Amino acid sequence: MAGSPQSFHVQDIIYRRDGTLSLPMRLFRPEGAGPFSLVLDIHGGAWTSGDLADGRERDETLARQGFVVAAPNFRHAGDGYPASLVDINYAIRWLKAQASEFHIDPARVGIAGTSSGGHLAMLAAMRPSDRRYAALTLPAGFAETDAAVRAVAMSWPVINPLSRYRHARRLADRTTPPEWAVAMPAKHDLYWKSEAAMSEGNPMLALERGERVELPPTLWVQGRPDDIHDYRDPESPIPGTESERFAANYRRAGGQIEVLYIDNATRASPASYEPVAAFFRRHLG
């Protein structure tokens, strides 16, 4: 850990209201005037569950090291794709537009995410100007801004929803399938609705299709062994796992990516939190 740990306080706020919809965000704010770098932390849950409390230990690690951390709730489950991306894109712009109030530097913003949250973080970073994702306007009086970020940290992301869907279905057909694989296809179906959507909202396939996307510096933290997130797709054009495939694609497209493998049994610990903090220190300051 760099420097002395900073004190911080936690604040729950509502960042988006629309009719009966009310979306909360938990802010972890270091003591002091700042301005501080900002990290949005996107929770996982197979796009169907989870909430802003899920990343608390990682968020506290970042706050102690001088980052403002924003952990938003967002639409998921039956609200479907791209609702989550719409809310995340809005949250980034909403925070940037109020930089002085939250003591953040709008030029030093990163995004992190775990599992399906890693997928959403990467897709939001790659497509900050996508008209579908940026469909919501900020409240009257807010300065116009964008949803671009300077760095992305993913922890065991579901980087390829389509291949993970097919992977789970193959395993579920076994005589004694793993429990996670039996339940997973229904979660994909609830959120994505179709394989066509899983293909379109897909960071891996966006690169392989040659889409013009943003490529901020990226960290992928991956526990091993982890057959839920780091399997080999039999349809992959390379012999490696999905983390190796994505890293190769990202570098080929001109992006910078680090892949850190850790013992999967230690992933909910400083073994994964500290590398994320170090990565953001390097790229956000």
> Mean pLDDT across the stretch 72-100?
98
pLDDT at 2 over 60: no
> Mean pLDDT across the stretch 202-227?
98
> Mean pLDDT across the stretch 144-149?
96
pLDDT at 73 over 90: yes
pLDDT at 14 over 80: yes
Helix/strand/coil (H/E/C) assignment for every residue in the chain: CCCCCCCEEEEEEEEEEECCEEEEEEEEEECCCCCEEEEEEECCCCCCCCCCCCCHHHHHHHHHCCEEEEEECCCCHHHCCCHHHHHHHHHHHHHHHCHHHHCEEEEEEEEEEECHHHHHHHHHHHCCCCCCCCCCCCCCCCCCCCCCCCEEEEECCCCCHHHHHHHHHHHHCCCCCCHHHHHHHHHHHHHHCCHHHHHHCCHHHHHHCCCCCCCCCEEEEEEECCCCCCCCCCCCCCCCCHHHHHHHHHHHCCCCEEEEEEEHHHCCCHHHHHHHHHHHHHHHC
Can you give the residue ranges of every domain in the chain? 8-161+202-284
Looking at residue 5, its pLDDT comes to 81
**pLDDT tens track for 16-65:** 999 999 999 999 999 999 999 999 999 999 999 999 999 999 999 999 99
**pLDDT tens track for 244-253:** 999 999 999 9
Looking at residue 3, its pLDDT comes to 60
Could you tell me which CATH class the domain 8-161+202-284 is placed in?
A: alpha beta
Looking at residue 285, its pLDDT comes to 87
pLDDT at 1 over 80: no
The mean of the pLDDT values for the chain is 97
**pLDDT tens track for 229-246:** 999 999 999 999 999 999
> Model-level pTM?
0.97
